[in-house]
Structure 1
Amino acid sequence: MENMGWRTLNFCSNSNPIPLERFYVIDSPNITSIPLADEIARLAALRYLRIIKCPNLISLGRYREVETSNNCHLMLSYLWISDPSVLLMEPLRSIASLKELIIDENDEVVSFSNEVEQWFLTVRSSLSLLEINNLKSLQSLPSTIESLSSLQALYISDVPMLRELPNLPPSLERLEIERCHPQLKERYGEDGGSDRHKIAHIPQIDFDP
């Protein structure tokens, strides 16, 4: 769904499973609520979720008592968002199955909050790909990236204020950096970069202008 005028999305009200594998909400500034937690028991098929440019989103619904007691969780594999604070909303807050996370298109985020940094620890055993794109004001990445023991690929592009990388996990196999601050290449580039040793364990490293 893109550029809708609705404030709240609702699924049809019955007890049948919702055979939805992919769900995208994009460029919808009026949306304040998406009832994912309300319908979590019916969304067992959902694997791909994209929530982009929904600046007024404040809720992903509320767990029902039966779902809380049964410890229901989304089984997402792929998540694409523009606002990191969405990660702190249930049911995303307690997700543990995520394999790929993309954070994209946000000009306001300067750093990740402590709560979001801690959220990364919930996916440390599952997340294999992290992509951070088009965050024009971002100055630092989460320090908890170092604890992502399954992370294999990290892609960073169009983050012009980023001057430093956190410690990266031994599992990382590919690091790709494009159109970021020139200091990154100076510090981590293979031609005498002062911090090159911090990423020397990564087999494939690409820096592009």
Structure 2
Amino acid sequence: MRITALSGGVGGARFLRGLLDALAERRAAGPGGDATGPADEVVVIGNTADDVTLHGLRVCPDLDSVMYTLGGGADDERGWGRAGETFAVARELAAHGDPPEWFSLGDRDLATHVLRSRLLAEGAPLSAVTRRLCERWRPGVELLPMTDDRVETHVVVDAAGLPEEGSVRSPLADGLAGPGERALHFQEWWVRHHAAPAARRIAVAGARAARPGP
């Protein structure tokens, strides 16, 4: 059986883990309890509209959550990131005053972002880069980004009282905000500000020009 699933990050990854467990149980409970037959094929189309560039590295939180969770490397207790993570590099960046300090990338997690960013800079599409990363994690699904094009969600809010320092800068945000407004990257609005600033509108920058992934 071929199954296609749409997935976000942590919640989607946990759903997919349950789905794979249920499919394995169904196969084992089949005629003769034969779990050696052809496996079900699961294709996951992952959200990339929450992707963000931090410290010059392209971070794909939802793709990584699926990859780590299904590959056995996620921190289930914390709910995000790698198990056994440390944050020495994040502390050093903070000591240098290199923002944003509100989004800490773990030392193990950084390896993923360094490799992804290098391959993207060399011209590889995100779908090919994701396949390359999955060679290590073997998540048991075919993980595809929804598009190879850059798409980012920004939340347009009232600019009054919002700090400029440590804010995410993205060329995709140009022109999204009017007078007295700020376009916050979704990660900044959600992680830094805990979704407190009232949203005037949500803009998925780049979506109109984006082409579906392969």
TM-score above 0.5: no
Where relative contact order (Cα < 8 A, 6+ residues apart) is larger, the structure is 2
Q: Which has the higher helix share?
A: 2
TM range, smaller chain? under 0.3
Q: Give the TM-score taking structure 2 as reference length.
A: 0.26
Q: Give the TM-score taking structure 1 as reference length.
A: 0.26
